Amino acid sequence: MNTVLMHTCCAPCSLSCIDPLRAEGLEPVAFWYNPNIHPWKEYQARRDCLLEYAPTIGMEVRVREDYGLRDFVRHVAADIDRRCVYCYEHRLKGTAQYAAEHGFAAFTTTLLASLYQDHDGIARAAERYAREYGVAFLYRDFRPNFRAGNQLAREKGFYMQKYCGCVFSEQDRYQKQIDRDRARFQAG
């Protein structure tokens, strides 16, 4: 069976990708590289959920441990609204580089499962770094499996994150409540 390095943002999203890849005769090797996820407890919860689940289905996990808060913020602070571009590119560059350095012929990413991410932007970034590092990017649209994957993750009791990963996306998650609180306290 051929292996493919699968950049993995979290265990729940991986459920949308693993079975379809295995059905094609490809064995995913999960690659944890997510220096965008903050705060530390969120990073740890997502990583550890993946590490606990993978052995139960015989999936190998490679970890590039990098809690990159300062570096991430330094790169996105000047243009927070475009942070996702940097985030995709940085993680996919690291994945392509790791694939090339460790003998993988191809890589993919669980980011392609999300209904909430810039699917085309992810694919463009992956193609760019595949060319740069001389490995193939295995494009698959895993989005049709997203809801079923999330339901299975809930059934398995996985840690289910409530925001994309960075501290700015966490703020976006709470923005309506922040606005309501601001209005409430300004009224008094």
CATH number at residue 58: 3.40.50.620
**Residues pairing with 7 in the sheet:** 31, 109
**Structural domain includes residue 179:** no
Produce one character per residue of 18-35: b if its CB has 16 or more CB atoms within 10 Å, e if not.
bebbeeeebbbbbbbbbb
- Does residue 84 have a known ligand-binding role? yes
- Does residue 9 have a known ligand-binding role? yes
- Does residue 87 have a known ligand-binding role? yes
Produce one character per residue of 146-158: b if its CB has 16 or more CB atoms within 10 Å, e if not.
beebbeebeeeeb
Tens of pLDDT, residue by residue over 169-181, are 888 787 778 788 8
pLDDT of amino acid 144 = 96
**Structural domain includes residue 117:** yes
**Structural domain includes residue 133:** yes
The domain tally of the chain equals 1
User: Coil, strand or helix: which one is 131?
Assistant: helix
Query: What is the full DSSP assignment across 94-124?
Result: HHHHHHHHTT-SEEEEGGGG-SSS-HHHHHH
Compute the average pLDDT of residues 96-108: 98
Most trustworthy range by pLDDT among 23-27, 158-162, 174-178: 23-27
What's the pTM value of the predicted model, to 2 decimals?
0.92
**Structural domain includes residue 91:** yes
**Structural domain includes residue 176:** no
Tens of pLDDT, residue by residue over 38-82, are 999 999 999 999 999 999 999 999 999 999 999 999 999 999 999
**Structural domain includes residue 102:** yes
Residue span of the structural domain in which 91 resides = 2-161
Strand arrangement of the beta sheet that strand 106-109 belongs to: 61-63, 26-32, 2-7, 106-109, 136-137
**Structural domain includes residue 178:** no
pLDDT of amino acid 105 = 97
Check pLDDT > 80 for residue 110.
yes
**Structural domain includes residue 144:** yes
